[in-house]
Chain A
Amino acid sequence: MTHLGRVTKKEEDGKLYAVDVKCEGQRIESVKISGEFFANPEGLIESMEESLRGIRLDKMFVMQAIAGALFYSKGTLVGIRASDLVEAIVEAGGKP
C-alpha cells in the first residue's frame, strides 16, 4: 500500500525544511526535500533524492544514501544537519 508522509522541521539556528516521503510498504518510492537551506554543489539535493529511491525505509539505509550523496559530491548542507535530515525522512516515511 502506498502512503505519503510529511515532516516539517526547523532546528535551532537552522533553516526551515520539509521532507515528503512516498512509501510502498517499507520501500521508499520517492522523497522530496524542500526548504530554506543551502546545499553545495548544485545537484546535491537531487542526487540525495535519487539515492533514496527504492531503498528500505530503515535508518541505516537512509543514512547510507544521504552520507553517500554527500561523500561522492564532496557536498555540504548549510542550515540542516544531515543526521536530522535522516531522522526526518524515517519519521515521514513511517507516518500513516
Chain B
Amino acid sequence: MKEWRLVRDGKADAFRNMGTDEAILDAVGAGKAPPTFRLYTWRPSAVSIGRFQAFDEVVDASACRELGIDIVRRISGGGSVFHDEKGEVTYSMVVREEDIPAHDVIDSFKYLLGTVVVTLKALGLRAEFAPINDVVVRGKKISGSAQVRRNGTVLQHGTVLMNMEKEVAFKVLRVPRLKVEERGLPGPAERVTTLAAEGVHIDASSLYQELVVGFSAATGAELRNGRISEEELEAAKAYARRRYADPAWLESR
C-alpha cells in the first residue's frame, strides 16, 4: 500500500473547501501528489448539493441567505448536505483507481468508508456501511459521502456528524416529497443521528485524531503529515472563484 499524505485543514468557506478537493483531485490524477486524506470543517455553515441535483428543488436559497449559510454545488454526485460550522467534520480521500478496489462504485464507497466505520466503532458505536454511500448507527445515517472520478482518480468526500441543529438543517434543505412519503419510514429528521445523540461528546480536533487512527487501521496505509502544494493552492483558489462561487455553476441544473 502506498504512503498517503495527511492534510489537516481548518475551517474554510464552501467555495474554497470544494476548490481544494478538486485541486487535489487534479494533482493526484496528474501524478503530482500522493494519495491524500484531508480533514476539514466549514465556516460559515453551508449547504452542498450534488452535481446533478436541481438547485431550486433541494435547497431553500432565501432561508440560507437569511441565516448566512452559503450554498455550493459539488462536482460529486449524491444529495444535498447541511454542513454545520460546529456540528461536523468533513473528510476527503483522493486516490488513483488502481490503488483501491475501484471497479465497482459501491465497493469503492465501502472500502473508503471503512475508515469511518472503524473510527465510529472505536468510539463505541455499532456503525456499519449502508449501501450506496452511507454509514449508519442503529439504522440511522451518521455519515454520508459522495464521489466523482476524473483521470483515473477517485475523489470521495463525506461528513461525520458530531451534532446537528436539525431545525436549521431542515429549514434550509428541501426534502423531496417522494422521500418523505416512503412508506413505513419515519420522517427525515428521525433518519439521521449524530455522535452527540449516540452519547459520544467529542470536538472536531479529537475527531480528526480518531479518524487518522481509523484510517490507518482500515486501510493499512501509512499516513505522512503534509500540506497542499503551492500549485494546488493556486488551483484551489481559481476553482473557488471561477466555478464554485459562480451562480451559473450553482444553478446549472
Contacts and interface: CB of A to CB of B under 8 A. Distances in A.
Interface residues on B, range: 20 to 34
B132 A33 contact: no
A53 interface: no
B132 A79 contact: yes
Contacts of B105: 38, 40, 76, 78
Interface of A: 8-10, 13, 15-18, 32-42, 45, 76, 78-79
Given A16-B178, A45-B52, A38 B131 contact: no
A68 B178 CA distance: 30
Nearest to A39: B77
27 contacts: A10-B178, A10-B182, A13-B132, A15-B78, A15-B79, A16-B176, A16-B178, A17-B52, A18-B57, A33-B52, A34-B52, A34-B57, A36-B52, A37-B52, A37-B77, A38-B76, A38-B77, A38-B78, A39-B51, A39-B52, A39-B77, A40-B149, A42-B75, A42-B148, A78-B132, A79-B77, A79-B132
Contacts of B77: 36-39, 78-79
Given A34-B52, A35-B52, A36-B52, 4 more contacts: A9-B178, A10-B178, A38-B77, A42-B149
B146 A38 contact: yes
B242 to A, nearest CB: 16
B55 to A, nearest CB: 9
Determine which residue in B51, B57, B150 has the highest number of CB atoms from chain A within 10 A of its CB, and name it.
B51
Contact of A78 (B54, B79, B106, B179): B106
A15 B178 contact: no
B54 A41 contact: no
B53 A35 contact: yes
Nearest to A40: B149
Contact of B179 (A10, A40, A42, A45): A10
A34 B53 contact: yes
A79 B106 CA distance: 10
Contact of B150 (A33, A42, A45): A42
Q: What are the 9 tightest A-B residue pairs by CB atom distance, in nearest-first order?
A: A38-B77, A36-B79, A34-B54, A78-B105, A40-B149, A34-B253, A10-B178, A34-B52, A36-B50
A36 B150 contact: no
B147 interface: yes
Contacts of A39: 51-52, 77
B193 to A, nearest CB: 20
Interface string B171-186: 0000010110010000
A10 to B, nearest CB: 5
Nearest to B76: A38
Nearest to B54: A34
Contacts of B147: 38
